[in-house]
Chain A
Amino acid sequence: MRREEASAAAAAAAEAGTPRSPDLHDLSDDSDYAAAAAASSSHSAMRSDLVDQGSGETAKVDVVYEKERVTIHPTQYGSGRISGKLRLYLQQGSLFVSWEPNEGVDSSSSNSATMEIEKYRNLYTIKALPLSDVRFIRKHTPTFGFEYIIIVLSSGLAFPPFYFYNGGLRELFATLKKHVFIIRSDDDPNVFLVNDFQDPLQKSLSSLELPGVATVANAMSRQNSLSFTSSVDGARHGSDAKHGASSSMTEFVSKKNHSSNDPGRDLSIQVLEKFSLVTKFARDTTSSLFRENHSSSGRTYGRQQQEYVLDNRANDKYKDQQITPDKGSLLSDSMKSDKILAWGKPRGQPLSVDEWRSFLDPEGRVMDSKALREKVFYGGIDHVLRKEVWKFLLGYHEYDSTYAEREYLSVMKRTEYEAIKSQWKSISSTQAKRFTKFRERKGLIDKDVVRTDRSVPYYEGDDNQNVLVLRDILLTYSFYNFDLGYCQGMSDFLAPILYVMEDESESFWCFAILMERLGANFNRDQNGMHAQLLALSKLVELLDPQLHNYFQKNDCLNYFFCFRWVLIQFKREFSFDQIMLLWEVLWTHYWSEHFHLYLCVAILKRYRTRIIGEQMDFDTLLKFINELSGEINLDRAIQDAEALCEQAGPNGAACIPPGTPPSMPIETDGGLYVQEDEVM
């Protein structure tokens, strides 16, 4: 144990030596942090003292990890913090975790907060929690603020986040790895699944199932777990999209071998065989029925069941979910009641203020981001909430951030924005005369902002101040991302964002983060657009071979007639109100990061009879598509796209090459946005 302690201490030292971003040091106005920083130098000595003490007093308890100033934030206010000591210890061969609050009140707590905090003290104390009761530990390493973990129990209960004021996260996981079986989730690299196997044989058997980490996760998702359910579906549309069909097939084959002794497997095969006989039409029907039958607990189940039906193969990835008899009967009931013959799930109501509140914990964290994204996908967001919720969807705020963290981020980012803005604000007219690139960019932006959404009241009229804000943000962005600069179409993206945010800095950052994903649309070599149009062509080939053949015969396979749809994500095709709805639906990435491509397929399919019947050539097609602006039924298009997405499954994801916008770009050393020899 001594040796372990030494290596753990070395790990802690290494961690302390890791360069941190200056932003973290800006937390020095936080008295807790300042105290922690002061204490950290004497930390390791103090720690070993405690260990000696511990091992001396309780003979059979072996403390293998101990960290001071592991703090919980029971309220959203900075004052409401309880510092404590997190320990891992071995007792009779089993590992336990404990957390005990420090005696007395933190010096940082004001008197008024003291009473309230006291009541949490006992509530959150963990005396002895066996690791075998822990399902997973989720690690958070936010850019701003302290690292923390959330411990989720097998029962689905979760402890509040433990913030590590002294660091030590790596050390914690290193220690855990030594004593319990812990694996990183395939679906979320920040999630560590814990299984404290007593039986070494079981442990080794389980490790053979490594690709089936999702199995563990799925079992959990039925237990009303908090935030983890998202990973299963996210993986299907996220990582499958990246790895393509081949990897999922490998996974399928490898798991098939392990599941042969599964008593529920025979039943599941029977169910599958039954389903494989139904026609495509019936499949579509059952698809929608499954969705109709969703209860909150059976939601993921229903969707995955459809995959079986649609993929028509015995992939038992989710076998643990389909063998339960009650669910089997649900299936057959669905089959019998074939009353709904519709594509896609009907659109729902927008996320309301009350619903939104119910998604947040007392500190303002979104507890179940998957459910939130599902809600938004199916119904959009009440306009009054967009300002708040868009920041999560876009990724400006992390779902697990607190009110306080978000407020802090906002303040920091405002300062940063002003600094970037001052870069061009300080250019005098004399300097501008010698700065052609600046003049040209400014000229281009000036020309575009005055013709962006001017019919929307927010941007209407002469000398509209909001138009000037658009200008300032775009010019600032062209300095923030000088390589990419300004490109036509960007003002289309920004206008609704500014309209929603009504704040220059917040709009800038939301726009900037959107451009992280969509910047490649504006590259000079058009690589982002080519990748998407190619993927679109593959999707049409998969989902409507006849239409694909038609395009092929008529030299339309470059899909340039969809250029505008893809470049600015249908901005010009729908009204301002509709586009806000559509974008929030797309930004959920609920079914696919590339849902917009399925939407293209859905709309093309809606008009396929006319396209083929009228024998449209490329020119006519482009004219026809452009003139669809304002004519497309948005709700129906989304429903169709959802159904297509489902129908395509992993084969659809395999049509989309890795890094295709809006996937995050694959970084190279040469920079992401280098525009060679550009005139502008």
Chain B
Amino acid sequence: MYNYTILIPMIPLVMFLVTGLLGMKWKPIISGLLGTTGLGISWVLSLMTAITYFFGGHHAEAFPTIIPFETLWLTFSETLQIKMGVLLDPISVMMLVVVTTISFMVHIYSLGYMHGEKGFQRFYAFLSLFTFSMLGLVIATNIFQMYIFWELVGVSSFLLIGFYYQKPSAVAASKKAFIVTRFADLGFLIGILILSFITKTFDFGILTNPDGAVFANAAGLSFMGVSAMTWAMVLVFMGGAGKSAMFPLHIWLPDAMEGPTPVSALIHAATMVVAGVYLVARLFVVYHFQAPDALEVVAYIGGFTSLFAAVIAITQYDIKRVLAFSTLSQLGYMMLALGVSGYGGEEGLGYMASVFHLFTHAMFKALLFLGAGSIIHAVHSNYMYDMGGLRKYLPITHITFLIACLTIAGVPPLSGFFSKDEILVAALEHNKLLFAVEFLVAGLTAFYMFRLYFNIFWGKDRHYHHTPHESPLTMTIPLMFLAFASVFSGFLPFHSLVTADKMHFDTHLHLGVAVPSVLIGLLGIALAWLLYKKESKTPENIARKLGVLYTATYNKFYFDEIYLFITRKIIFNYISRPIAWFDRHIVDGFMVGIGTVTEKVSYRIKGMQSGQLQHYAFMFVAGALILALVLVYYM
């Protein structure tokens, strides 16, 4: 019934190969159209899958886990095997929709945004590669397949951030993203190894069985006073934290904004960065039953990241960076929701809220980024002090951007309101401190988003090189579509679709949470209105009064500098240098020595090949005699 789902990732793969290998021979636009068409097909197939899966009949019992396709790839032992396949369950089907929708929109948008860029076909080839990898990750039937595609996602992200490879800052950013996430993946890999050592399986189906039978071996295993399962799951989370840019591995995401803006929308807002959330959600049963301590770590890291990033976002001037920090903050929300969630029925509210927010966030954050792209396209700058009064020049961008800002600020009845509200409720039931943090962040979010909005669209006109004009239809249609999705996706009944135990449960509006959270959002908006609607010196004055606090925030609390100090000054000097010396003098010296000896011997014996037949005959007979001696010796 779902056999066709294998096509969903395969089409982008084929598109990658076709546009990658043959793209140079065609007009650039052909690659673009081809990639977009292919992805359109994948999108339709994903929607079909989602509709048949969610609304195809069975409502009474839990949603089934379906594996329509699986093939054995490698066998280590009877039980430990690596398979490749397609797994359909509520969360993966939902992710198929998210990934293909955003990717399809970005494909269309890029036709306009990237028009005339050098390397247009390369861009589309990489987009297809990324989409293939992300889809492969989403539908993975086992943790190893997920890891393989996880790395592929990392590679394609690296390629896309470094798309403008003549720009040193883009190259540095791509390297930074790759190295930081790779470092995190080291933890992920070790986590996988511990997990498979304990359970002798990679299979999600077996791992996430709530009875936990495969974890029987784990009892009593511990390291440094912490149980083996907690270690494993914290390490797995480290991989997720790297991809989802959780504190303290968040440093790559703001820099990743060096990539083309559609890439930021696709990868660094809606899809790749939620891979970490998806990973934790995928293994949620294991976290909940086997390693509740690890889940606690997830909750606190998520909570801290959301506050930390929201504070930084207030002070940034590069509009893409504001959005990047906002993404960090929202990802923190999702992690936190998972961290505070329970399992089964209403206990699982956090889980449901997290994936719900993942879905709505994907829509409105992609919209924000694409809107930012449209603005940058019009004024050729990333900085908000180069912008102002744009609402008359970019009407469609203005309206859609405003919708997105209202959504993220949690204004009802837009989608962000619903998903954020569920998260707050879940947090309140579990942990008052985390609830307080999130409540504050809701206000901060509204404030920095509207600071952005007012700075861009209101205030005075700047000296533009040419009059800014609205972007072409290829760019505005995705904006309108995503705006539509941002407004209405809040009405999707997630509580009966994607839940921890795959069963339906009832939710109700918690007025005690909803009203204050809406109010603090409105307060944030009002504050932004006062400070930024008309240009004034007030914000500067406030900043000056805050002094060191402001500077530290503006400089992202110097985290980049700390990392640089640790790597350059400590690791490079005290670890790398001695290793390099050892490598150059001992290891290389040995190898060069072998080479020299080989060369010398080879030179010495060249006289043996004299060209004289009688000499050869002598050697032949002598060789036979020597062999006879060998034989005599051994007999």
B partners with A: no
Binding site for A on B (CB under 8 A): none
